Amino acid sequence: MISVILPVYNRRDLVGRAIRSVLEQKYVDREVVVVDDGSEDGTAERVQEEFGDAVRLLRKHRNEGVSAARNLGIKEARGEWLALLDSDDEWLPQKLQKQVEALAQSKLLICHSDEIWIRNGVRVNPHKHHQKFGGDIFLKALPLCVMSPSSIVIHSSVFAHLGLFDELLPACEDYEFFLRVASKYEVAYIDEKLLLKYGGHADQLSRAYAAMDRFRVYALDKLLRAMPKLQEEKRNKARLMLVKKARIVAGGAKKRDNQSLVHEMRQYIEYWG
């Protein structure tokens, strides 16, 4: 069985699309675990009213962020395999079936796929640096997140091995987790567009914080400290990427007169530079 983990916060009129796209999957051996992260707009009530026993609804009493919500869903999941889905995205009907087949053929523990991008209701083409790959993707995962959470099917043993999402990160938590994944595992990739990834709405995390690379600097620092025996080329490339990103963030922070962020980035540069 595949457990689909769907965290949601204050998306009463949007989350139904995501849930329906799971219930309409051709692969039917799955459960849908919706984690309401302390919504205040009636999201949980709408989910319960519309879907009833078709989903497992877990309700958190206060909002603690997407990582905490995902982690709760992962801990409560009953399936051997887990799939992630963001509340504003939508799967195409054959997604899970094709991923189950790809995982069986490859004998790997993680699978992701290509996707269709929709921004403000209009389909757009991703930039070249967003291109996705399979196999050993660690070096390609250093600049930015190259696996979308909504595209992932992953074996539960990976979480047991690597741990869960970092709840200290308010954003870029997917970059940090999938960087850990790529440092230890090869991944299967389906070069087909199996989901719709929506963007442009006001409550996206990518719009909530300036200087997103500061969170990636934190993630790279965490990885390097936790994995001192990382293969030499990978370790050197990760270190160089950290210093590059820290310098960019420090430069922007200096222009905005954010001296605390400048100081924080300089500490990273001095340690890893």
Cβ neighbors of 203 (< 8 A, separation 6 or more) are 10, 11
Identify the H or E element spanning 83: strand 81-84
Which residues in the chain come in under a pLDDT of 70? 201-209
pLDDT of 126 reads 83
pLDDT in tens, 26-77: 998 999 999 999 999 999 999 999 999 999 999 999 999 999 999 999 999 9
Count of C-beta atoms within a 10 Å radius of residue 236: 11
Are 170 and 99 contained in the same domain? yes
Rounded to two decimals, the pTM is 0.94
Instruction: Report how far residue 97's alpha carbon sits from residue 100's, in angstroms, rounded to the nearest whole number.
Output: 5
CA proximity to 181, closest of 167, 166, 195? 166
Are 142 and 248 contained in the same domain? no
pLDDT of 161 reads 96
The token pair at 227 is 């994995």
Are 138 and 243 contained in the same domain? no
> Could you tell me how many residues make up the chain?
273
Show which of 181, 206, 231 is a domain's final residue.
Answer: 206
Are 93 and 22 contained in the same domain? yes
Residue position matching structure tokens 């984690």? 35
Are 168 and 256 contained in the same domain? no
Count of domains observed in the chain: 2
pLDDT of 26 reads 95
Full residue range of the structural domain in which residue 88 is found = 2-206
Are 227 and 145 contained in the same domain? no
Write the CATH number for 120. 3.90.550.10
